[in-house]
Amino acid sequence: MQSNFFVDVVDVVRLIPRGKVTTYGSIAKYLGSSRSSRTVGWVLNKQVLDTTIPAHRVVNRQGILTGKNYFKDPLFMQSELEKEGVKVVNDQIVDFNTHFWDPNKELTI
DNA sequence: CCCCTGACGACGC
DNA sequence: AGCGTCGCCAGGG
């Protein structure tokens, strides 16, 4: 059985729309502990085998694909994002702000 | 039970 | 401006 934070992170990630991305920090903040961004990354790492979770839509606050090496194929993250219309150059999302989806704004607590 | 690790981020120096 | 440190939460040894 997983703890609440773990489950909550997964829930929020599932809600990220196609073509949008969010950050570890935003998710942590949405869950009420803004300083737990690190744990968000940790959760996704544990879920890397669960392909039903769009973990490729979560990047760090600079729009960098810091987690790409944890996928089976390091290029998976970028190719998925580009399929959805998100351009990636040098492991960084181009025009990050226009693709940024903030659960704190988009979701009602 | 204590210590370490980690896809982060804010702050201090 | 860049680097070091610390906080946070869970899990593993």
Residue–nucleotide distance: A21 CA to C3 C1' (Å): 28
Q: Which of residues 86-105 of A touch strand B (CB under 7 A)?
A: none
- From residues 28-57 of A, which are strand B contacts by CB within 7 A? 28, 34-35, 37-42, 44-45, 47-48, 55-56
pLDDT tens for residues A33-85?
A: 999 999 999 999 999 888 899 999 999 999 999 999 999 999 999 999 999 99
Burial A37-56 (b: 16+ CB within 10 A, else e): bebbbebbeebeeeeebbbb
pLDDT in tens, A4-42: 899 999 999 999 999 999 999 999 999 999 999 999 999
This model's pTM is above 0.75: yes
Q: How far apart are CA A34 and CA A72, in angstroms?
A: 29
Residue A7 to residue A85: CA distance in whole angstroms: 28
Secondary structure of residue A22 in the 3-state scheme: strand
Query: Which residues fall within 8 angstroms of residue A25, CB to CB, at 6 or more apart?
Result: A34, A37, A40, A60, A61
